[in-house]
């Protein structure tokens, strides 16, 4: 029987598995270890400074140095650097997502069957009014160009625009896909961290169904089934959240949702396998 690993060893093993696909991605895009190390250092310092202060005390360079293992001089240098933010990518993603969500669930833009209808670009109940209602002061033309760029919207022969995809999923832009990597993987790790600390009293749902010996030719059928079932679930949850999206700017609010992702990986012949059911 194998020995149960210690907490530090278990964390090291988990990080090794987590970093393998991340290192694969970084190497594919030409990111050196030095560049990754610089990002890791900045993030270590930022998290230690903003989330690990002692109760009733302001965070200090000395405490961050102790927590992170970096010298006080290094911590001070990193804190003096200007913060980098993906404000443009995040804003584009959020605005485009809000427009698509509004198109799907806003009855003014649905047909009698409750489905998103094709819209004129300008005029009453048009794409332009949809953007104004759900994306603020963003120019309608810019939003339309973005949604057409990612393949979520297409033009019809009569000059109207029709919804093709109900979610903002960039098809061509590697930059936008990397933005999704940063947000979605961070959400999953945040849920796992919450469950490690508060799981006994306040568990957050985190499950998967995974089999290791499925015939390769069955994979396309599974992906099609999983996509259809998952989309239906997400739409039901979206309707529930939309009905409860009533908080005022002064109310206590939370960012809340559910993420689903598909898994597929080749299994070497003869490898011992196991399965995970929900």
Q: State pLDDT tens for residues 131-178.
A: 998 887 778 888 898 888 878 899 999 989 999 887 766 655 677 677
pLDDT at 91 over 70: no
Indicate the range of 54-58, 125-129, 252-256, 274-278 predicted with least confidence: 274-278
pLDDT for residue 262: 93
pTM for the model stands at 0.70
Cα–Cα–Cα angle for 138, 142, 145, rounded to 5 degrees: 145
Mean pLDDT for the stretch of residues 226-233: 93
Q: At what angle do helices 61-68 and 33-51 cross, to 10 degrees?
A: 130
HEC-encoded secondary structure of 120-153: CCCCCCCHHHHHHHHHCCCCHHHHHHHHHHCCCE
Structure tokens at 180: 């999704």
């Amino acid at each position: 029987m194998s020995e149960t690993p210690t907490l530090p060893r278990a964390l090291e093993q988990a990080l090794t598995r987590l970093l393998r696909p991340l290192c694969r991605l970084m190497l594919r895009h030409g990111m050196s270890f030095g560049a990754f190390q610089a990002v890791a250092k900045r993030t270590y310092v930022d998290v230690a400074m903003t989330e690990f202060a002692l109760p009733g005390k302001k965070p200090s360079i000395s405490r961050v140095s102790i927590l992170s293992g970096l010298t006080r001089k290094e911590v001070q240098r990193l804190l003096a650097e200007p913060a980098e933010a993906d404000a443009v990518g995040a804003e584009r993603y959020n605005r485009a997502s809000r427009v698509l969500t509004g198109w799907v669930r806003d009855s003014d833009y649905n047909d009698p069957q409750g489905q998103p209808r094709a819209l004129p670009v300008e005029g009453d109940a048009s794409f332009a009014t949809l953007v104004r209602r759900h994306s603020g002061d963003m120019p309608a033309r810019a939003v339309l160009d973005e949604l057409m760029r990612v393949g979520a919207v297409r033009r019809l022969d009569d000059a109207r625009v029709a919804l093709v995809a109900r979610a903002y999923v960039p098809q061509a832009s590697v930059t936008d896909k990397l933005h999704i990597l940063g947000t979605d993987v961070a959400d999953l790790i945040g849920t796992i961290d919450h469950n490690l600390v508060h799981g006994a009293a306040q568990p957050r749902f985190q499950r998967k169904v995974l089999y290791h010996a499925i015939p390769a030719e069955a994979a396309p059928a599974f992906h099609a089934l999983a996509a259809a079932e998952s989309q239906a679930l997400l739409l039901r949850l979206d309707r529930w959240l939309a009905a409860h999206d009533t908080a005022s700017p002064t109310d206590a609010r939370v960012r809340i949702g559910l993420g689903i992702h598909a898994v597929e990986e080749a299994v070497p012949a003869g490898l011992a396998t196991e399965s995970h059911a929900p």
